[in-house]
């Protein structure tokens, strides 16, 4: 008998609790002590909850601009590809028509 083939009873897991609301999250954050490990981790990684520096704001602004520019380029590329696909489809239909015409002439 294969060990993997044994029937094992699996208990039913309890359903997941509902995610906390925004108010509950804010209340939890406000109740946290200043020495809470989460805040010390954020300080170590440079993600302190204090006001972001001007360089952080500039960096985010540049990232947003790059995103918008890339998104516009992708939209243009999509339009170009759709147009080229339609042109190829039309060329394929014309080629098929030409092939049928040539076949008809050789009979």
Interatomic CA distance for residues 74 and 92, integer angstroms:
26
How crowded is residue 78: how many other Cβ atoms within 10 Å of its Cβ?
Answer: 10
> What is the C-alpha to C-alpha distance for residues 97 and 89, in angstroms, rounded to an integer?
12
- How large is the average pLDDT for residues 83-104? 94
1 versus 37: the higher-pLDDT residue is: 37
Residues shown for the chain: 107
Question: What pLDDT, on a 0 to 100 scale, did the predictor assign at position 47?
Answer: 53
Tell me how far apart the terminal alpha carbons of the chain are, to the nearest angstrom.
70
Query: Mean pLDDT, the chain, as a whole number?
Result: 83
- For the whole model, what pTM was predicted? 0.42
């Amino acid at each position: 008998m294969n060990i993997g083939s044994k029937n094992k009873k699996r208990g039913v897991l309890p359903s997941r609790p509902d995610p906390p609301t925004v108010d509950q999250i804010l209340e939890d954050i406000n109740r946290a002590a200043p020495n809470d490990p989460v805040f010390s981790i954020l300080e170590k990684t440079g993600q302190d909850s204090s006001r972001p520096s001007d360089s952080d704001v500039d960096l985010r602004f540049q990232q947003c601009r790059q995103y918008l520019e890339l998104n516009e380029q992708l939209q243009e590329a999509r339009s170009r590809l759709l147009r080229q696909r339609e042109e190829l489809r039309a060329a394929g239909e014309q080629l098929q028509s030409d092939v049928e015409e040539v076949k008809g002439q050789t009979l």
